[in-house]
Amino acid sequence: MKSYKILTVCLGNICRSPAAQGILEHIAAQNELFLEIDSAGTAAYHVGNPPDSRSIKTLQRAGIDISQQKARQVTSADFNKFDWILAMDRANLANLKKIQPENNRAKLVMFGEFNRQSAFGEVADPYYGGDEGFETMRLHLNEISEAFVHYLQTKTED
């Protein structure tokens, strides 16, 4: 089976994209699918910082440790390093398209498009809300990640 390099992207790389990275790694391992996964933000607000403590705690309760991740900003080189770049919302997708080089190898998509339950393919940003928003985010990302892993397992074209 083919292996893939995946980049998950949100705005600051401290809530959704590190959570998506951890959840995707967890689900891929459960399904014996090899994915090389990283996360990044379209903005440089939190470069070098760990994920939001609420993301860390929410995922720890689900048995997933993201505490060692460090925020970084997306670079134009990422578009040739990764097979898939998965944006968490339309604003980040638009920002990614602005820096996307021509003739790059990455498939740039909204991550939520892999789950029909997603509102317009977006994963809501829980940053300015309470703890319940992080649990909702985790559940949403889990559903999308399962659908994405299933898609990769059944994908026949490259």
Catalytically active residues are 10, 16, 125
CA 114 to mean position of chain CA atoms: 12
Identify the CA nearest to 27 among candidates 37, 12, 16: 37
Identify the CA nearest to 115 among candidates 144, 146, 140, 81: 144
- The 10 Å CB-count burial string (b at 16+, else e) for 57-72 is ebbeeeebebeebebb
| 3 state SS of 53 | helix
